[in-house]
Amino acid sequence: MIQDLGMMEKIVSLCKRRGFIYPSSEIYGGFSGFWDYGHYGAILKENIKCLWKQRFIFDREDMFVNDASIVMNPNVWEASGHVSTFTDPMEDGKQFNTMFKTSVGAGEESIVSYLRPETAQGIFTNFKNVIDSFHPKLPFGIAQVGKAFRNEISPRDFIFRSREFEQMEVEYFVREKDWEKHFQEWLEKMRKFGKEIGIKQIIELDVTPEDRAHYSKRTIDFEFDYPFGRKELWGLAYRTDFDLKAHSAKSGISLEYFNEETGDRLTPHVIEPSLGVDRTILAILLSSYTEDEIGGEPRIYLKLAKHIAPVRAAVFPLLKNKPELVSKARELFLNLKSQIPNLEFDDNGNIGKRYRRQDEIGTPFCITIDFDTLKDDTVTLRDRDTGEQKRIKVSDLKEAII
Ligand code: ATP
């Protein structure tokens, strides 16, 4: 594969220029491995998380939501194996534990704990609570979206490898004999989700037993061709009953599932689809970044799927120094705002500049109010990808955009 590192510079520059992503603490020279999401980046991120929640949780009937604390009892990380094995090799061969340490409490009372390096363990520690509160039948899942922290030895490649990032994870609890069936179901779900959010090509790699985590009997890495090489985007792992058994042994609390109908007790096995939000965003930006020519002029645009684009449509008055156009455009904008998500009013600069800006943000539609609008209640609707404009009745706008 030919590596196109110039592409990364283009993406980083667009993200900064258009308010998607900035280096953290930038006025102090930044902070390696930390990034801030600006206005459009934060909305894009929120749209992706909402869609993930819809597809992985709310479209189903067998899912529970969890929102565990970031700092947990350190025994959690002893039991999960992170304290002893969550390490990366240092240059001089010394192993370095990549969990961020923090001290909890004051003075002699203080104890060492960690910022969670994955959301998964907060799900396992709540397994019994879910069973006791909701009495679910197997199979069922618990999902969580939230921040994770890893003190990566060398953070790099923009938001690909950072020290603070976000994960969308499901722990799906099944009977051992059924694991392959459910593994396949989640595999299909992840494939579909990748397509729906517009990631160009995902390569699936069946991880060999030597490269798998010791507790996993099957893992598929979803990989993406980033400009810096083919690397992991998401993971799907069959984690067996390792985590529930480990927490049960350490805490002394039974994490078995009791089937009232058959009277059997068992420790469920676990299928885990794990998706990093930030790597998802990077893959989407790389898949959607396009350069072409329109009317003889070069342009850059993000071909974002409309349901995740940070701006679904922008409303413009043709000229900003004509009060009758501005007030008509404002009226239309305020009216549509409650019906169309992520609508934006834009009267900066001239219309050419507005199109360029909205193209770079990835806005699928631009609506322009001109003098004809005042007479016949029609507007022009511009399509981002083709640049084509068509005249359309205001009353038909919602349907064309949604
Ligand atoms: P890698 O091998 O690239 O370090 P990993 O196998 O350690 O990744 P997992 O522990 O499986 O990653 O974490 C699940 C998901 O969390 C990954 O597929 C990825 O999307 C995301 N992720 C992990 N580490 C980072 C990081 N440092 N920065 C951004 N996202 C990350």
Ligand 1 mean position to 132 CA, how many Å? Answer: 32
Task: Estimate the share of the chain in helix, then strand, then coil, as percent rounded to the nearest 5.
Answer: 35, 30, 35
What's the rounded Cα separation, in Å, for the pair 188 and 114? Answer: 34
Instruction: Identify the residues whose C-beta falls under 6 Å from ligand 1.
Output: 118, 150, 152, 161-162, 165, 167, 232-235, 274, 276, 278-279
For residue 150, give the ligand 1 atom closest to its CA.
Answer: 27
Choose among 386, 401, 200: nearest CA to 289: 200
pLDDT tens digit sequence for 285-338: 999 999 999 989 999 999 999 999 999 999 999 999 999 999 999 999 999 999
CA of 276 to the centre of ligand 1 (A): 7
Burial code of 97-123, b = ≥16 C-beta within 10 A, e = fewer?
A: bbbbeeeeeeeeeeeebbbbbbbbbbb
Kindly report the protein residue whose alpha carbon is nearest to atom 9 of ligand 1.
Answer: 235
Average pLDDT over residues 181-197: 98
Res. 3 pLDDT band, cuts 50 70 90: low
pLDDT tens-digit profile of 68-119?
999 999 999 999 999 999 999 998 889 999 999 999 999 999 999 999 999 9
- If one residue of 86, 162, 193, 232 were mutated to test the ligand 1 pocket, choosing by the most ligand atoms within 8 A of its CB, it would be 232
pLDDT at position 263 is 87
Does residue 382 have a pLDDT over 70? yes
Q: Taking all residues of the chain, what is their mean pLDDT, rounded to a whole number?
A: 96
Q: Is the peptide bond before 341 cis (omega within 30 degrees of 0)?
A: no
- Under 8 Å CB-to-CB from 240, ≥6 apart: which residues? 215, 216, 217, 269, 270
Summarize the confidence of residues 19-33 as an average pLDDT: 98
Q: How far is the CA of 281 from the centre of ligand 1 (A)?
A: 14
Pocket test for ligand 1, best of 118, 160, 165 (most atoms within 8 A of CB): 165
Q: Which of 4-8, 38-42, 131-135, 352-356 has the lowest mean pLDDT?
A: 4-8
Predicted TM-score (pTM) of the model is 0.96
Atom of ligand 1 nearest to the CA of 169: 14
How many angstroms is it from 93 CA to the middle of ligand 1? 22
Q: How many A from CA of 78 to the centre of ligand 1?
A: 20
Q: Is the pLDDT of residue 244 over 80?
A: yes
Nearest CA to ligand 1 atom 22: 276
Amino acid symbol at 232? E
2 has pLDDT over 60:
no
Residue-level pLDDT at 223: 98
Query: Rounded to the nearest whole angstrom, what is the distance from the C-alpha of residue 62 to the centroid of ligand 1?
Result: 26
CA of 175 to the centre of ligand 1 (A): 27
Ligand 1, residue 222: give the atom nearest the CA: 18
Nearest atom of ligand 1 to the alpha carbon of 155: 27
Domains and CATH numbers, the chain: 5-286 (3.30.930.10), 311-401 (3.40.50.800)
Q: 172 has which bridge partners?
A: 141, 271
pLDDT for 269 beyond 60: yes
Q: Residue ranges of the alpha helices (H) in 170-211?
A: 179-196
Nearest to 316 by CA among 362, 373, 395: 373
3-state secondary structure (DSSP) of residue 3: coil
Q: At what angle do helices 277-288 and 5-17 cross, to 10 degrees?
A: 100
Q: Whose CA is nearest to atom 21 of ligand 1?
A: 276
Beta carbons within 8 Å of 124's beta carbon, 6+ residues apart: 80, 171, 243, 244, 247, 255
Reported in sequence order, the residue ranges of 175-288 that DSSP labels E, i.e. its strands, are 203-206, 218-226, 229-240, 257-258, 265-266, 269-276
How far away, in angstroms, is 160 Cα from ligand 1 center? 9
